[in-house]
Chain A
Amino acid sequence: MTLPEVQTQQKDDLRIGVYVCHCGLNIAGTVDCEQVVAFAATLPHVVLAKDNRYTCSDQGQELIKKDIKEHRLNRVVVASCSPRLHEPTFRRACEEAGLNKYLFEMANIREHCSWVHLYEKEAATEKAKDLVRMAVAKAALLEPETESVVPIINKALVIGGGVAGIQAALDLADTGYKVFLVEKEPSIGGRMAQIDKTFPTMDCSICILAPKMSDAGRHPNIELLTNSDILDVKGYIGNFKVKVLKKPRYVTKDCSACGDCATACPVTAPNEFDLGLATRHAIYTPFAQAVPSTYIVDRNLCLNKENIIVCDKCIKACERKTIDFNMKPETLELDVGTIIVATGADVYDPASLVNYGYTKYPNVITSLEFERLINAGGPSAGHLLRPTDMRIPKSVAFIQCVGSRSEKGNLYCSNVCCMNTIKDALLIKEHWPETEIYVYYVDIRAFGKGFEDLYKRARKEGVHFIRGLPSEIWEDRKTRGLWLVGENTLLREVYKTNVEMVILSIGLQPRVDSDIIQRLCNLSRTPDGFFMEAHPKLRPVDAPTGGIFLAGCAESPKDIKDSVTQASAAAARASILMAQGKVTVEAITSQLTPESCTGCQMCVKVCPFNAITSVPELKKVELIEAACSGCGTCSAECPFNAITMHHFTDAQLFAQIDAATEVDADKKIVAFCCNWCSYAGADFAGVSRMQYPTNVRVIRTMCSGRVAPKFVERAFARGAAAVLVSGCHIGDCHYINANLQTEKRVERLWKKMERLGLNKNRLQLVWVSAAEGERFASKIKEMQSTVSNVNPEEIEKSRKMTERG
């Protein structure tokens, strides 16, 4: 039996240098680095192998640069952490030494080895050797590539007009870039506009926000698109095409916001801005400081249905004749270079916690309702009124962690509620000092600048802090007061307290419609549901997709200061791109060999970016490299090997498979992981030190769509016990939908395996997101039973897989 000939050497003078990094004890604590170096030196074409305590340090990089020059290295392999972390660092070092950066390859012996096999030192060392062998095998076949440069459009899109979106838009606009600020509500302002005071300085929230709002509304560089939805986002870093649906307000810009129309309007409904505590009319402005101040007609409430003007009271009342029921929705097409996602957060709905009686007892309110009640511009003109009798309560209880840090709601801490409650308690004390205030908490988290002082002040003012949440609240039928029962866990005694009003300190949670923005902008979400950053420490505002940045509560619950900080950071990050005016796009694209092409159009059908078009006259296809994003699914689909995927060529991947299966193949799992989700997921397993068996060898591809059936067959032909194909979840693919092809191919392979009488469990497909390290680890664990049950006959049988079609 012969395997397809693999090109093992194209030049006689291949000179590979291998650097094995200790990463302090992160790698060296588990892997015997000296052994790995000694092994690396024996590999073909390796002329130099060294170990280094920190290869990413300046000295480490200098060493590589020096060696490239002195030893005439023309390929460099670094065995250290994930290429997702330091590949750019080492590539740059290579470039500085005059070596094309695509002649660099990395072996991930930290996230994929030492950290996940902490207690299996020998097996981890063997795995590290294998990973180096695979990297060297690929390095031998690497080719220099040239990157193309694409211009960046000097315009930005900010999605969400809360304080984060406003700050980001203002910063970008002040820098001199045109900004489109898109907000789905009729006014910008977001949650901050609803809040009365801010902690810890007790500034009036709207007083400090309103000037920013009007700055954003007036700024010559900002185009405000309120009452608008994002319909579609296409394109890539520097060149996004965004479709925005601008819904009509039915009131023109000439509106002077006098309010005569609203007075005339005969219909009313609860005002969402005031959480239903006040009414509004069908023609309204959500709040006094709204930007734009132009009124808006709620057509769901208005008596005038489509095409029929039944009621013209507002039209008659408007002196400036600004009301126009013929306005139509508009779809705008925007070309922008960068996008900042600042979509904010929803608040937790406590009605599902039945024991607290929210919506059953009117005197149980939420902290956001409290903000509207205590606000001088709110429905009660700043009086904290008990909904049942419109009287100011003499005793109030706050309940912390409602919907946070609990299996019943969300598992995470919502970050702002402790300080918000302390601020609220002080506000009550300020207005009505005699009020008895009880705060029932789990832990008080006063971690920020000035927070502890505020907490101390609250204690000094006589606010009672009781550790232990009430287990139940019930209403006193006569007084409409509320009884709270629970355990004071510090004193170990049961309390039963009667108060006149209860305020539930509700947490924050991801927007219900987060999945829309996630899909449109190709973002990832953490298990909590908030958008995930590219790196939690070093790239906290970059989204994993190039040219997209995150700000505010969309990324995680945070207070106003942190939102503003993050927004300015995101604006700065976006400015860096736009100031450069151009961006180099990785040379990982596909290339057509027209001589081999038969014009079968298989590739045309699978390309998610429409980069391949058919030329029927010539019986060929045409591939536009500039439109190619580099998933490689065309190359995997082509039956005639007419498409070459740069940097992930068939030969390179075959070489990696062969290297992975060189020894003890019958005990190994060959895993193909896509760069964006599943490889990152495996990295996450490493960072989280999730332990799993050592017999898996991960091969990175940009997309799971690159995994051609022939790669899987090759692995089986080489005697691998099992193969794992892994990619982003369906719908989350970074190449739109290339992973649908992965699914189809794996299903075809399963059928083929069944036909050949092979155990199809030996080939597994799993979708792993970047946050699902646990899923990756448990899949490898789960596959162990398959691996241990594979007998030599089966291995022998599968070796023939490539022979029979």
Chain B
Amino acid sequence: MTGGRLVARFYLGLVLVFLYLPVAVMMLMAFNRSPLYELPFAFDTVWFHALAGNERLLQAGANSVMLAIANTVVATALGTLAALGLQRYEFRGKTALQLLLFPPITIPWLIIGTAMLIFFFWVGIGRGLHAMLLGHVALSLPYVIVVVGARLKGHGRALEDAAATLGATPGQSFWRVTLPVMAPGVVAAALFAFAVSFDQFVISYFLAPPGVSTLPVEIYSAIRKGFTPEINAISTIIILVSMGLMLLFARLYRFGGER
């Protein structure tokens, strides 16, 4: 059925074009001299230069990066511990706890974001980067736990048992066996957490006070207000960063999955 195969692959190709076309266009336009997308295409990095002078965007970018780093550290640490706990102990209610991981991912972020806004304001935490950190970690935790958990499941208790029979104390066993074996999974989860925070829009949007914002929030306001081609430039950068991170993650996750 080679004819069918060809059609099949062609279709897949079409789907891929659909998925990448708009982004490709946007990236192209980021390098186009014209501010209004007039063709013919004239290569110019003028908009990237303009970025360097755009205080708001730069500040927002810095915020995004700092926030993402903080999120990565906290979420990876907490999530890894949780994954270890889930793997190590059998107890009643374990499935319930595993199910509890799902709300942040499955409930529309609009609802979570507005709920956080209400709660934080009421309780006195207010809005701001610290509030956003709380929210981002909450969103990242399920992903970290799942990614690290998958890595742990592949190797299970047998390795730790073996270390014990060889005379390793629980501390030695953790340091010499569990941690190294878990490492690729933890790094992958960290990358994931960074990307989740860096790209996060909804939660950041609701928790952003006037004057403080992250990159996605800033871009959103700019779009709503009217349009500057610098948005293209910064968007291109963001997309490349996100996709790059995800490619790294995929690489690590694959090789981590090998025995």
The finding on whether chains A and B are genuine partners in a shared complex, rather than unrelated, reads: no
Show the binding face of B for A, using Cβ within 8 Å.
none
